[in-house]
Amino acid sequence: MPGQAVVVGAGQAGVSLAAALRRRGFDGRIRLIGAEPALPYQRPPLSKEFMASTDAAPRSLRKPAFYEENDIDLLTGEAVTDIDLAARRLELGGSGSLSFTLLAIATGGQPRRLPGGDIEGVYCLRTIADAEAIRSRVAEGGPIVIVGGGFLGLELAGSLSANGHSVTILEGGARLMGRAVSAAVSAHFHAVHAGWGISVHCGDPFARFEHENGRLTAVVTGSGRRFPAAMAIVGIGIDPEVGLAQRAGLSCNDGIEVDACLSTGAEGVVAIGDCARFRQYRTDTPIRIESIQNATDQADCAAGTLLGEREPYRAVPWFWSHQRDQRLQMAGLPGQAGTDVIRGNPDDGRFSVFRYAEGRLVAVDSVNHPAEHMLSRKLIAAGVSPRGDAVRDPDTDLKSLLDA
């Protein structure tokens, strides 16, 4: 099928989509455009092994030869400034314009900022440039305060404290990773981080940064408590990058709105990954998911949509967080889960939490139990909801429920 595909965004989703188009036999021109200057790379390692030593290199998504061998024109360090959907053209800031027959928007997101976040010593982490800045600053020493006890904050805490630095985590919510995981998992990680010598504070939200001569000196919380800091890293989530889509006339609402096949309202235009608010297959309710799995699986689905092979996106969401030697894996989405059933013993540091909404299994958190995580993905995909007593009983062979 001839044509010209343009992919805006060369992160996990964008690169995966370009690769998926080729894999599905598209032989038209593909341009993959990334705003960052680096060879497209993986973000997850930035909070982990990238912090372990000052010369750790970024992990690229594909090596340069891949783009050449697969006829993917990779343009890095290029910002797309405007999309004209009617004319099927987009503008590259200062470098001319490109026409397209197929367009994928995979613009990701921008880290949320706090007031005073432009004080020297305050960082966020999204890009290699951010990670390099953090890494050099950490080497200068001094107490580190991490604002936000979500996945990113905890991974950073684990990495940075491993090198002997003093780390404090400030989480405004009642518990760590509260938005995403069960209470038992929050408790496990709170204890683990405390055991690593990290100072963890929940339920006392950020109030302000203190500074002297423009340099950070402390972080102050709502209770008035003051945490001396040589540096602060803010990990409070991202906002989807929708400006370009919005200006192009696409409907956006905490993400670029797409249907169940990841198609925007415009012909031949899809949006995927962190920036896309899509309709869930079973329920038709809109949601936006930030994960490697979502980016990659949506890329494949959307490539199909662009090539006329429309299928609804229905991959079971899954996610991982690796904090030092602790492996946290989650399957499904907790949503309105009201009941948690624990399998295994949290005191052993290896357990799962099966989460139910009105009797239906909707998510499973697994801590240091990869086999159980993989199984739970299959259970959720199959719509199987094991009974609570079966889950609690270590002798139950949950796998057999799939054969039923």
23 binds other proteins per the rule CB under 8 A: yes
Q: How many CB atoms neighbour CB 345 within 10 A? A: 10
Name the minimum Å distance from CB 62 to other proteins.
6
Nearer to other proteins, 359 or 370 (CB): 370
Q: How many CB atoms neighbour CB 339 within 10 A? A: 13
Name the minimum Å distance from CB 282 to other proteins.
20
Nearer to other proteins, 16 or 221 (CB): 16
Name the minimum Å distance from CB 19 to other proteins.
8
Apex 196 CA angle, 192 and 197, nearest 5:
120
Euclidean distance between CA atoms 115 and 342, whole angstroms: 40
44 binds other proteins per the rule CB under 8 A: yes
Name the minimum Å distance from CB 374 to other proteins.
4
x/- contact string, 62-101, with other proteins (CB under 8 A)?
A: xx-xx---x-------------------------------
329 binds other proteins per the rule CB under 8 A: yes
Among 45, 150, 178, 240, indicate the residue that binds other proteins (CB under 8 A). 45
Euclidean distance between CA atoms 281 and 396, whole angstroms: 31
As a residue count, the chain comes to 404
126 binds other proteins per the rule CB under 8 A: no
Nearer to other proteins, 42 or 251 (CB): 42
The answer to whether 219 and 147 are in contact (CB under 8 A) is: yes
59 binds other proteins per the rule CB under 8 A: yes
384 binds other proteins per the rule CB under 8 A: no
Euclidean distance between CA atoms 273 and 109, whole angstroms: 9
Instruction: Give the contacts of 206 (CB within 8 A, at least 6 positions apart).
Output: 114, 147, 170, 172, 219, 221, 222
Sign of the torsion angle spanned by Cα atoms 333, 335, 341, 346:
positive
Name the minimum Å distance from CB 304 to other proteins.
17
Helix (H/G/I), strand (E/B), else coil: 252? strand
265 binds other proteins per the rule CB under 8 A: no
x/- contact string, 342-371, with other proteins (CB under 8 A)?
A: --------------------------x-xx
The answer to whether 76 and 39 are in contact (CB under 8 A) is: yes
Nearer to other proteins, 315 or 357 (CB): 315
Nearer to other proteins, 45 or 148 (CB): 45
The answer to whether 221 and 202 are in contact (CB under 8 A) is: no
Nearer to other proteins, 209 or 354 (CB): 354
Span from 44-52, 106-114, 277-285, 382-390 in contact with other proteins (CB under 8 A)? 44-52
Helix (H/G/I), strand (E/B), else coil: 247? helix
DSSP run (H or E) holding 357: strand 350-357
Among 320, 349, 360, 384, indicate the residue that binds other proteins (CB under 8 A). 320
Name the minimum Å distance from CB 149 to other proteins.
21
Name the minimum Å distance from CB 217 to other proteins.
36
What CA dihedral angle connects 181, 300, 375 and 401, to 10 degrees? 120
**Residues paired with residue 367 on neighbouring β-strands, in sequence order:** 328, 351
Could you identify the residue written with the tokens 């998504």? 61
Euclidean distance between CA atoms 294 and 6, whole angstroms: 20
373 binds other proteins per the rule CB under 8 A: yes
61 binds other proteins per the rule CB under 8 A: yes
39 binds other proteins per the rule CB under 8 A: no
The answer to whether 304 and 341 are in contact (CB under 8 A) is: no
Euclidean distance between CA atoms 180 and 174, whole angstroms: 13
387 binds other proteins per the rule CB under 8 A: no
- Binding positions for other proteins, 275-294, rule CB under 8 A: 292-293
Residue 400: exposure state from Cβ atoms within 10 A (0-12, 13-18, ≥19): exposed
Nearer to other proteins, 264 or 294 (CB): 294
Number of residues in contact with other proteins, rule: CB under 8 A?
Answer: 25
Tokens coding 76: 């890095």
52 binds other proteins per the rule CB under 8 A: no
Contact positions toward other proteins, by CB under 8 A?
23, 42, 44-45, 48, 59, 61-63, 65-66, 70, 292-293, 296, 320, 322, 325, 327, 329, 368, 370-371, 373-374
